[in-house]
Amino acid sequence: MTGRAGVALLALVLAAVPAAAVERETSETPKAFTLGLVQKALRPGLSQAGVAERLGSPNIVTREADGREAWVYDKVSSERETSGESVGVGSAASGSAGSVFGLLGIGAGKRSEKARSSQRTLTVVIRFSAAGLVETFTWHDSRF
């Protein structure tokens, strides 16, 4: 194998490895846990394995007195939105050699920033029959 062919082969292999890693990441990326996903995924009679495949592992598993299980999914998401405004005239940080005010560090400025944050919770409770099949499911969705 010539040096040029070896370099070309090495470049091809190195290009293929990251592409395969990216493909694997995107195909295994979980879907966002939303009320729509829950409503679409669950139905009475679905097995516990089917629920786990569609929604993932529950946060809490409880067993009732008669031996039936209940699974609880409790998800919280936070959003933060900020917007800001800044005005400066002749400050040392923005001054140039041609600006006397910038060289002297004399200036004026105004800065205002607004922030808004919210949290959203989604709690889903799934009750299974003694045979391990979905009997009922309820949810509570809130935003504050």
Give me the sign of the Cα torsion angle 131, 134, 135, 141: positive
Helix (H, G, I), strand (E, B) or coil at 90: coil
- The model's pLDDT over 17-33, given as tens digits with 9 standing for 90+, comes to 454 444 444 445 457 88
Which residues, 6+ apart, have CB-to-CB distance to 88 below 8 Å?
94, 107, 108, 109, 110
- Rounded Cα distance between 76 and 91, Å, is 43
As a residue count, the chain comes to 144
Least confident of 1-5, 45-49, 63-67, 117-121: 1-5
Cα–Cα distances in Å, from 103 out to 55, 91, 107, 111?
61, 8, 10, 22
- The model's pLDDT over 85-105, given as tens digits with 9 standing for 90+, comes to 766 665 555 545 555 555 555
Sketch the domain layout of the chain as residue ranges: 1-30, 32-143
Are 55 and 41 spatial neighbours (Cβ–Cβ below 8 Å)? Answer: yes
User: And the tokens for 126?
Assistant: 């799934």
Q: Which long-range contacts (CB under 8 A, 24 or more apart) does 24-30 make?
A: 30/56
Q: Does the reported pTM lie above 0.75?
A: no
* Amino acid (1-letter code) at residue 56: G
